[in-house]
Amino acid sequence: MVGAPTFIMLLDGKLASPTGANPCRRKRPAMRKARSRATNPAEAVQRALEHELTKRNGDMKPIELVKVAISAYQSFTFNEDGPMADADPCAVESADSIGLRRGTQSAVDRLLFNANYWCAAYEKRIVAACDTPDDARACLQAVSVWTAHTLKLNTLSPTETVAIFERFCPPFALNHRRGSHERSRTGKGPLPDLKRAIDELRPHASQRSLEALDEIVRSMEREAADYEALGVNGSLQALFDILSAWCLQDRIPLVNGAWWNDSRVMENLVNALHQRFLELGFCESACDYFLDSCLEALDAYHRDLSSEPSPLSELDIPQLIALVQTARETYPNFESEDYGDALPSWLIGKEQLIWNIVVCALYGPASARPLLVDSPALLAKDGYAGKTDVITELAQTSFMRYTADRIASQTDMEYATFASLPTDLRNSSIAYISSIHKKLETLGYEVLPAGSCYPDRCVSAFTASEVECLAILEHRRWLRERQKAGWHYGPAKNTILKESPYIVPWEELPDRAKEWNRSAVRSIPSLLASVNLAVVR
């Protein structure tokens, strides 16, 4: 190996002498013992979470649960007899890459704050551009900010944790790390430090290496300028704008960690976060909303997950941000649907999953992204086109409930199934579903995709007076529909003569028929929930 160093860089940027030891040999991780007890990563994560909660008497910030889960996952999967055995043990890596692979908690802390973003995003390109391992190590150390000064989640208050996250996670500009010195022309930060490191290489580095490194710096500067422009609306909004691009490029461990692809690990972590939120006193409906949103995002991501790399991963971040912005303008309902054909089908699920776990662990469960639904425009005023399959599904469900009510009131049923209904009665059932939004508007409610608003706006049950109002409105609608179809009053129902004893005003309707209407409108919230829709204030 050319230019072998006298010292090697260990996990947190500290220097150690290789005296009496092979400098290329890696130690086993501290949590190696757990492998004899756990049989898979999900079990290892579950045990680590339970152990930490017990040791800390349950006094843990939600974001610390995320750290413990990732550390346990990485520690379990680290195996010197595995894929790394065939790799060059002296390959150049940053301290964070080594530490994260081994599952050290300090490296995971830095990952969650995204503190060493520039090193993580450009590490492979920097190593490939350098002539010697020594040159690569010098450049990697220049862009590795938090290695000697460790960020420790367990020493920070929740407010301090959020403040540091907002400062570091979206990398806004060149000099926003290691303190910004506005009066200094050179500044202090990862990119100015990298420039200085490259300048020190100029006397001996090849022209090819210097040109490649200079191009890397220019690419970083373009990316930083885009981040700074997005940052004017705040850190969290900037992260919302950037996260999709990071997922598409798939370079930084915040988004490309293998734990995101293990559904059992994610389920264990989500359940632990849900329980911790409840213990911390967050609103139960918000906690349940968080749980449902996470599990649905997880399901969507894994349903569409492909082992094939996306061709978009070769684009730079400014290009990807522009693509995402265009897709969001083209598909304004992307939050509850997806990006259509513009971007990979797995993207919306993955970005929502990462957001829900990392951001909600810091800001609380109400920050969860909306649930995904198949037909978000189902009951919009003019949104029926192309949705008749779902409307029919709702009509069938409603008919089954109506049948159960008739049986409970010991009333004979002429038609046992929805399929056996004559065409006009099937159409009547569908018309009832299509009329729901109009009746709800009378009470000031609307129908929206489940998860598209905060849980406290959702209505799970109507008051008695609201039920009575909706039941009267439904009977009036049905009465107009039947009369328009040629039906009239008769002492008994006769489909041939189109007679019915219920073709009367609400006040004259038999009590059992009134109760059928009340039962139907009471079931509206649960009926809509069956297709991921909600009644919203």
Model pLDDT for residues 109-160, shown as the tens digit of each residue: 999 999 889 999 999 999 999 999 999 999 999 988 777 666 788 888 889 9
Asked if 14 and 142 count as a contact pair (C-beta separation under 8 A), the reply is: no
Count how many residues are written for the chain.
Answer: 537
Q: What is the pLDDT of residue 185?
A: 40
Distance (Å, rounded) from C-alpha 406 to C-alpha 413?
Answer: 7
Q: Integer distance in angstroms from the first to the last C-alpha of the chain?
A: 68
Contacts of 22 (CB under 8 A, 6+ apart): none
What pairing do the DSSP bridges indicate for beta strands 8-9 and 458-459?
A: unpaired
Q: Each residue of 256-287: pLDDT tens digit?
A: 999 999 999 999 999 999 999 999 998 887 88
Look up residue 11 and give its amino acid: L
Q: Do 348 and 384 meet the contact criterion of CB atoms below 8 Å apart? A: no
Domain range annotation of the chain: 26-367, 388-536
Q: What DSSP state is assigned to residue 411? A: -
Residue 13: the pLDDT is 35
Task: Report yes or no on whether pTM surpasses 0.85.
Answer: no
Give the residue among 482, 445, 478, 475 at the shortest CA–CA distance from 460. 445
Q: Is the pLDDT of residue 535 over 70?
A: yes
**Alpha-helix residue ranges (DSSP H) falling in 409-490:** 423-434, 436-442, 464-484
Is-contact 198 185, C-beta < 8 A? no
State both tokens at 480.
């107009």
For residue 388, count other CB atoms closer than 10 A to its CB. Answer: 12
Rounded-to-5 percentages of helix, strand, coil across the chain:
60, 5, 35
> Which residue, chain included where needed, has tokens 């862009």?
143
At residue 175, what are phi and psi to the nearest 5 degrees?
-115, 25
| Strand 533-536 with 8-9, pairing | unpaired
Residue 153 near residue 69, CB atoms below 8 Å:
no
User: Could you tell me the pLDDT band of residue 492, with boundaries at 50, 70 and 90?
Assistant: confident
Q: For tokens 């912005």, what's the residue?
A: 325
Q: How far apart are CA 7 and CA 118, in angstroms?
A: 24
Q: Is the pLDDT of residue 223 over 60?
A: yes
Task: Write out 179-199 in H/E/C secondary structure.
Answer: CCCCCCCCCCCHHHHHHHHHH
Long-range contacts of 434-438 (CB under 8 A, 24+ apart): 434/379, 434/384, 434/391, 435/474, 435/477, 436/379, 436/524, 436/528, 437/379, 437/380, 437/381
Q: Which residue has the higher pLDDT, 452 or 280?
A: 280
Query: What distance in Å separates the CA atoms of residue 518 and residue 524, rounded to the nearest whole number?
Result: 10
CA separation, residue 312 to residues 249, 305, 320, 347 (Å)? 7, 15, 8, 12
More confident residue, 396 or 21: 396
Residue 357's φ and ψ, nearest 5 degrees, are -80, -50
The CATH code for residues 388-536 is 1.10.490
Residues in CB range of 49: below 8 A, 6 or more apart: 65, 68, 69, 72, 268, 269, 272
Residue 34 has pLDDT above 60, yes or no: no
Q: Does 23 or 296 have the greater pLDDT score?
A: 296
Which is more confidently placed, 444 or 322? 322
> Which of 269-273, 423-427, 488-492, 503-507 has the largest mean confidence?
269-273
